[in-house]
A and B are shown apart, each in its own frame.
Chain A
């Protein structure tokens, strides 16, 4: 190793062992599944016989990324009440999927977004546009996973530079995917859910036992808590220990630090800032709820049930499983505020995003090694979260690139062997870019970055699905125009904000004068989603001649009950990649 090992501080053996075991088991399961799966991941073929319970666990496992596991807690600790919109909307977005998109999409038989784009509009060109978006949104989603990896490794090996953690974990997973492993096998993903659920809940119960309840910790933030049962809470005055921490009332109430950042930059008073906060809040909600429709690795799972009835029941269970999960991360954030305020002073890998890992270790002060064990458990959960999400994303993105870009556009005559090679090269290429991007984002919050991925999906895929499924008069130019208008705008805004926050571009003189623009850039959904929909309507009406000739039949396929047998399979040739 070329970096000085001496610089790495004392490694906790429990934490290291739990993490190492999780990593090794995940890699081993990935390799074993690669050997046993004949074609692509089982959700294209064998999935038809998967039961509701397994499938629901698998979807839930796939859904809970580093953002859910680490990011939510970190953001609740740093920003308080406003951060709670994230978990609620992550869960609610699924409801939106259920109400408007899941059934029709399943009946249509298109397994991926590019498949749907091509099948609904008979347009290979549109397919290409869809693929590009899959890649872009995918990268925004891989960056927070990489940050999770960097933080976790920096925590396990104190002193290890952030980028080394990113490169190590990213490298291992990329290699694993390139070598054919870690496809979205139902069994593994189902196991991942329960592992994460265990890892987030058990430490909470222990922490609550040792340090007092959820509401007791919240109460510590109210000035004259009525019957404040502040049991066991040895809270130091925040103003001394963590001057950068938000004040109690700002943290506890709505329209707190998360949503008023732009207004603060503009030096507005709290009263003036409130309307801006309201806009921010609505834009965030729209992004998160509509953006769920744009997660390719989630949509695919609607097909792994034997029939539509099972698919709907599965979705119900998914909502229960992820909802129950999301009750726990905020507790870490709330307790962290009282027990580990030092994290407020630091940023990046040492900041609040690692509260889920750090907090359990405190128990060591009272009960010896239990703290290390609990912390080891949360680390294991974190590994499960970002490793599985990153590999899932890598597989979808690589599949899109190898299958669509190479297989259909560049070399349609390629042999399966050539496509395998293209897959491997694409995996390394995409993995490499993810690592590079991931190493740059240490200063951005995990949850925030995932929110941005959702915002882009909300402005591109959600309008695509919603309008294509429910409106007969959509045309390909309309869909494309809307998707590009919304998606590119959202993409541009979020990139601008990131570059500005990372100080690559210096806009610090600009933002204070234009708080509204800052808000609309930081959370673009409130204007990009309507813009995309309106663009789709206008352009479709203008190109009304281009409505697909068999639109009535397509609508039947989308909406008629499956029992009537209209269902087709628009899957192209997915064998062998």
Chain B
């Protein structure tokens, strides 16, 4: 359980850094966030478009790792029992 919790927290923190950091970036560096990226302002691009693939990548990583952790645990138990 502990390792799953740690994995969840790691992924959550990665995600939260961007999610909670973005308003701070908007607040403290407005000109930087207003620069043009692919025709959008950077802040619009991140919130309107780029955030989604970011979330997909985190989910994919989490799912792979968490299923691997489960498989490890099952294997370990079976070793103990056998």
Q: Flag whether A405 is at the interface (Cβ < 8 A).
A: no
Return the chain B residue nearest A330 by Cβ.
B48
Taking a contact as CB atoms under 8 Å apart, the answer to whether B23 and A254 are in contact is yes
Q: Of residues 176 to 220 in A, which have CB atoms within 8 Å of B's CB atoms?
A: 213-216, 218-219
Q: Flag whether A511 is at the interface (Cβ < 8 A).
A: no
Q: Of residues 283 to 307 in A, which have CB atoms within 8 Å of B's CB atoms?
A: 285, 289
| A contact face: mostly helix, strand, loop, or mixed | helix
* Chain A interfacial residues counted at CB < 8 A: 52
Taking a contact as CB atoms under 8 Å apart, the answer to whether B41 and A99 are in contact is no
Query: Which of A100, A214, A281, A312 lies in contact with B12, CB distance below 8 A?
Result: A100
Q: Of residues 37 to 65 in B, which have CB atoms within 8 Å of A's CB atoms?
A: 38-41, 43-44, 47-49, 51-53, 55-56, 58-60, 62-63
Known: A278-B23, A563-B70. A81 touches B43 (CB 8 A): yes
Q: Flag whether A378 is at the interface (Cβ < 8 A).
A: no
Binds B, one of A35-43, A85-93, A112-120, A541-549: A85-93
Q: What chain B residues lie within 8 Å of A96 (beta carbons)?
A: 12
B82 to chain A, nearest CB (A): 14
Known: A92-B19, A289-B19, A312-B66. A559 touches B1 (CB 8 A): yes
Q: Flag whether A360 is at the interface (Cβ < 8 A).
A: no
Q: What chain B residues lie within 8 Å of A563 (beta carbons)?
A: 70, 74
Q: Of residues 548 to 571 in A, which have CB atoms within 8 Å of B's CB atoms?
A: 555, 559-564
| B contact face: mostly helix, strand, loop, or mixed | helix
Taking a contact as CB atoms under 8 Å apart, the answer to whether A85 and B47 are in contact is yes
Return the chain B residue nearest A331 by Cβ.
B48
Binds B, one of A318-326, A432-440, A512-520: A318-326
Query: Which of B20, B39, B59 lies in contact with A215, CB distance below 8 A?
Result: B39
Alpha-carbon gap, A96 to B48, bound state (A): 19
Q: Chain B 1-22, CB within 8 Å of chain A: the 1/0 string?
A: 1001100100110010001100
Q: Flag whether A17 is at the interface (Cβ < 8 A).
A: no
Query: Which of A100, A214, A319 lies in contact with B55, CB distance below 8 A?
Result: A319
Q: What chain B residues lie within 8 Å of A559 (beta carbons)?
A: 1, 4
Taking a contact as CB atoms under 8 Å apart, the answer to whether B44 and A216 are in contact is no
Taking a contact as CB atoms under 8 Å apart, the answer to whether B27 and A278 are in contact is yes
Alpha-carbon gap, A213 to B38, bound state (A): 12
Taking a contact as CB atoms under 8 Å apart, the answer to whether B44 and A95 are in contact is no
Q: Flag whether A244 is at the interface (Cβ < 8 A).
A: no
Alpha-carbon gap, A313 to B30, bound state (A): 38
Taking a contact as CB atoms under 8 Å apart, the answer to whether B39 and A219 are in contact is yes
Alpha-carbon gap, A410 to B47, bound state (A): 49
Query: Which of A100, A252, A312, A324 lies in contact with B63, CB distance below 8 A?
Result: A312
A276 to chain B, nearest CB (A): 11
B42 to chain A, nearest CB (A): 11
A223 to chain B, nearest CB (A): 11
Return the chain B residue nearest A313 by Cβ.
B63
B38 to chain A, nearest CB (A): 7
Q: What chain A residues lie within 8 Å of B55 (beta carbons)?
A: 91-92, 95, 319, 323
Q: Flag whether A28 is at the interface (Cβ < 8 A).
A: no
Q: What chain A residues lie within 8 Å of B53 (beta carbons)?
A: 323
Return the chain A residue nearest B58 by Cβ.
A95
Taking a contact as CB atoms under 8 Å apart, the answer to whether A564 and B74 are in contact is yes
Alpha-carbon gap, A289 to B55, bound state (A): 13
A96 to chain B, nearest CB (A): 7
Q: Residues of A at under 8 Å CB distance from B?
A: 81, 84-85, 88-89, 91-92, 95-96, 98-100, 103, 213-216, 218-219, 222, 226, 252-255, 274, 278, 281-282, 285, 289, 308-309, 312-313, 315-316, 319-320, 323-324, 326-327, 330, 470, 555, 559-564
30 contacts between A and B (CB under 8 A): A84-B44, A88-B19, A92-B19, A92-B51, A100-B12, A103-B4, A215-B38, A216-B39, A218-B40, A252-B41, A253-B30, A254-B27, A254-B30, A254-B43, A255-B26, A278-B24, A278-B27, A285-B20, A289-B19, A315-B59, A316-B63, A319-B59, A320-B56, A323-B53, A324-B52, A327-B49, A327-B52, A555-B1, A561-B74, A564-B74
